[in-house]
Structure 1
Amino acid sequence: MNRRTRRAAAFAAVSLLALAAPLLGPATPAPFAAVAVLAAFAVREGRLFELFARPGDRRDRRLNGLAGFALGATGLAVFASIPAVSLSPSVFAAAVLIVGVGNLGTQASREYTDEGFLHATGFVLLGSLGGLLALVVVSAGAGEAVRLPAFVFLATSGALAAALLRSVLLEQDDPVVMVSVGLLCWLFAALVGDVTLARIGVALAVTAALGYVSYALGTASVAGMLTGVLLGLVTIVLGGFGWFAALIAFYAVGGLASKFRFEEKAERGVAQENEGARGTGNVLANSAVALVAVVGYAATDHAAMPADPFVFAFAGAVATAMADTLSSEIGGLFDNPRLVTTLERVPPGTDGAITLQGELAGIAGAGLVGALAAIGMPVGDPLVGGGVVVGAGFAGMTVDSLLGALVEGDRIGNQTVNFLATLSGALVAVALAFGVMLS
């Protein structure tokens, strides 16, 4: 076991203090606060210092990494120990163990391989197990119901989110990761209902398999794969398999379209960057609106809100993302593109340029999402609901082209334009749906 793995194991051992939450009650923050004080002011040398020290800690002669880790846990513990706050001790403990034990998984895998995919896999596997252990032990210790299916979802989604943050942040950012995961699990714990273990099992198997395939085919980076798996899992649990079918159709078809005749598109200057592998920014730009919609849909079970707007917003956003992706990836292979605002001929790759072939491909993509929504989502009359989704996808695709021609450039990038386009598609879908209902 190398030094990094020993250090990660020591941090994981400290995270186990969170399991004492049922016994400590209001004093739950105390152990982590004590660790933070000792790390920052007392332990300056010796074996204990060397066990926990990160490279920068030796320069400062202070265990900054351990102090930050413990302070992050202390902050979450304060929320979990206040009766008026609904953050449960089990969710607090899960967040702490997901980060502490997950980091051990990453470091252990680094002893055997330099493959980033396996590092992320190690984090997710051990982090999920640590989070699940915390949820079960703390809930049982507090006399609360042990909801195993919901706990598996919370632990896995938290570990995926933590691994994703880990991939874009630094090692010393443990407090940011821990607090973010705690808040996310807090939200999901309030929204997840009576979900079966079979549904969770199928969701995990399907999303993990598709995530691996997307990475193996080069259609997603490690961070993009983690983002897609997390969004897919959340969509299945909070929405349903019909919602997931529409979302995964976009990921699969859009990813393959990015790879289609990639060398030719690269020569023309219209190829997707990073050799067609979509990263976190690209995935979120195209899927953030859909994620908010499915979370909003789940929230309607707990609040007096209509569910239909969230259903159509989700489908409209996904249809827009599909239509825009196919329009760009297919249209970029053809000559004589025209600027959407003036219809003047422009060079291939010009922002806001469209081709007839690209527009037809985009409409076909929106049609696919519309058909899947009509089959698997509660959109009312299948023909009418599916038509609304197709219309929204076309409208969002057009908005993307208009924004590309009018505002995209140094100050507003492609990812921002994609987000605004999917938001437009979602709003158009809701407006069309209500217009149809009122007519």
Structure 2
Amino acid sequence: MKPIIAVPATLLLCYRAYSRNSLTPTGIFAAALTAVAHAVHPWNLPFALLVVFFLAATRATHVKENVKATLTLHSKGSSGGEGPRTHVQVLANSLTASVLSLLHAYQMHARQRELLASPLGSNPASSSLCFSWGGDLLVVGIIANYAAVAADTFSSELGILSKDQPRLITSPTLRKVPRGTNGGVTLFGLGAGLLGSIIIVTAAAVMLPFCNGQTAGKLGGGLPWSNDERRTLILGLTAWGFMGSVLDSILGGLLQATVKDVRTGKVVEGEGGTRVLVAARSKPHSAEHFSTRADVKAALLHGEGHDAVEKLDSAVDEGEGVDKYDARNKNRRSSFGDEKPSRVVENGRDLLDNNQVNFLMAFTMSIGAMAVGSWYWGVPLSSVLPAGIAS
């Protein structure tokens, strides 16, 4: 992309993120680096998709944000809603696309050097400078990444406004769950996800430098696309992006813990997509519980006196060998007066946080799209690597 366009556009995006509090300072820095990684590509496509995704995602985030703030709770106790996104959230959505864009930029520059050194009129299939039919799997991966993360963002930010209560996609009975639950889906949310994918793929269809009849046979040209082939690519990537939002829901429902506030029944959201901690409470009749009591009793017999009694009382109530009232205890529990926890895990397992789930989904959908393209076109998947590594 030409620097005369990329530099002002990047500065404007950073200023917009700062003025509207869309990104944290570190988030703005990560976004600027991401923009550079996309702008070094000879085509306008990667940078354009990044811009479209950023503008569309921030717009979706601000839709009825005052209403969304009342539907969930913040982990710090305030109202919910999406705050400014951090550098981790930026990278979770765009890191895969950044790597693929840099790889394809390297390939494009290598092709340009090859064409300059080749006799006039030669047109090797691997040296196409336009988007040729039957190749450039990296381009498919870049588009798939942004179609998937846009679908996921739209599904999350707009789906929570659905009048219908979400149903857990990983539940055999599709049981109803609170709004904001990881893995919870509604028809409205799925439709919003499809809209996000359509926006990205439409932008890609406009910006892609398709090889056509005019470029065929020319230096740097490639196999042209028919209208049916273009339609197949557009519909396929749109459906693939929509499936990304579904995959994110499945991964979230299985690998991410959803924490619910007992008093309000609302989902508690972690700051910047991080985990919401819930203190574990040992079972009264578990081996861990009796082991803790035995340790405290042994301390009592060895002369610790009153301190050991307090620890024993704490162990009985909390299942731990520490004083629950000690200010040095970083694991003090947030609970009601009856010692019942105020936060409980609604569903899922605490294996990944929201950012890790988003990255896993984006990576999977990008690699998966390239694998499908490799099978459909009969192009080896190794073609995405630089020539020296692939050989």
TM-score (norm 1): 0.51
| Counterpart position of 2:372 | 432
SS in 1 for 2:249: helix
| Counterpart position of 1:286 | 93
Cα RMSD (Å): 2.5
- Residue 200 in 1 paired to residue 48 in 2? no
The 1:382–1:270 alpha-carbon spacing in structure 2 relative to 1, beyond 3 Å, is: farther
Q: Report Cα offsets for 1:123-148 as digits up to 9, x if no partner.
A: xxxxxxxxxxxxxxxxxxxxxxxxxx
Q: Report Cα offsets for 1:172-215 as digits up to 9, x if no partner.
A: xxxxxxxxxxxxxxxxxxxxxxx7xxx21211001111211122
Question: Cα distance, 1:226 vs. partner?
Answer: 2.0
Larger helix percent: 1
Map 1:31-430 onto structure 2 (within 5 A).
199-269=2-72, 275-301=82-108, 308-334=136-162, 335-342=164-171, 343-378=174-209, 381-409=229-257, 410-430=350-370
Q: State how far apart, in whole Å, the 2-side matches of 1:239 and 1:365 are.
A: 26
Q: State how far apart, in whole Å, the 1-side matches of 2:32 and 2:109 are.
A: 26
Q: State how far apart, in whole Å, the 1-side matches of 2:90 and 2:367 are.
A: 20
Q: State how far apart, in whole Å, the 1-side matches of 2:45 and 2:32 are.
A: 16
Q: State how far apart, in whole Å, the 1-side matches of 2:371 and 2:250 are.
A: 20
Q: State how far apart, in whole Å, the 2-side matches of 1:291 and 1:229 are.
A: 12
TM-score (norm 2): 0.57
SS in 1 for 2:69: helix
Q: Given that residues 374 and 383 in structure 1 are in contact (C-alpha distance below 8 angstroms), is that contact kept between their aligned partners in structure 2?
A: no
Equivalenced residue count is 242
Q: Given that residues 290 and 313 in structure 1 are in contact (C-alpha distance below 8 angstroms), is that contact kept between their aligned partners in structure 2?
A: yes
Q: Where do 5+ consecutive residues of structure 2 fail to align? A: 112-125, 128-134, 211-224, 258-349, 380-391
- Say which is worse superposed, 289-298 or 386-395, in terms of deviation: 386-395
2:143 maps to a residue whose letter is A
Larger RCO: 1 or 2 (CA < 8 Å, sep 6+): 2
1:339 maps to a residue whose letter is L
Larger Rg, first or second structure (1 or 2): 2
- Say which is worse superposed, 357-366 or 209-218, in terms of deviation: 209-218
Q: Given that residues 93 and 358 in structure 2 are in contact (C-alpha distance below 8 angstroms), is that contact kept between their aligned partners in structure 1?
A: yes
Q: State how far apart, in whole Å, the 1-side matches of 2:100 and 2:234 are.
A: 17
Q: Given that residues 311 and 377 in structure 1 are in contact (C-alpha distance below 8 angstroms), is that contact kept between their aligned partners in structure 2?
A: no
The sequence identity of aligned pairs, in percent, is: 31
Question: Cα distance, 1:273 vs. partner?
Answer: 7.0
Question: Cα distance, 1:322 vs. partner?
Answer: 0.2
The 1:297–1:273 alpha-carbon spacing in structure 2 relative to 1, beyond 3 Å, is: farther
Question: Cα distance, 1:234 vs. partner?
Answer: 2.3
Question: Cα distance, 1:266 vs. partner?
Answer: 1.5
Question: Cα distance, 1:258 vs. partner?
Answer: 1.2
Q: Given that residues 72 and 81 in structure 2 are in contact (C-alpha distance below 8 angstroms), is that contact kept between their aligned partners in structure 1?
A: no
Q: Given that residues 72 and 80 in structure 2 are in contact (C-alpha distance below 8 angstroms), is that contact kept between their aligned partners in structure 1?
A: no
The 1:274–1:367 alpha-carbon spacing in structure 2 relative to 1, beyond 3 Å, is: closer
1:297 maps to a residue whose letter is H
Q: Given that residues 194 and 242 in structure 2 are in contact (C-alpha distance below 8 angstroms), is that contact kept between their aligned partners in structure 1?
A: yes
Question: Cα distance, 1:391 vs. partner?
Answer: 2.1
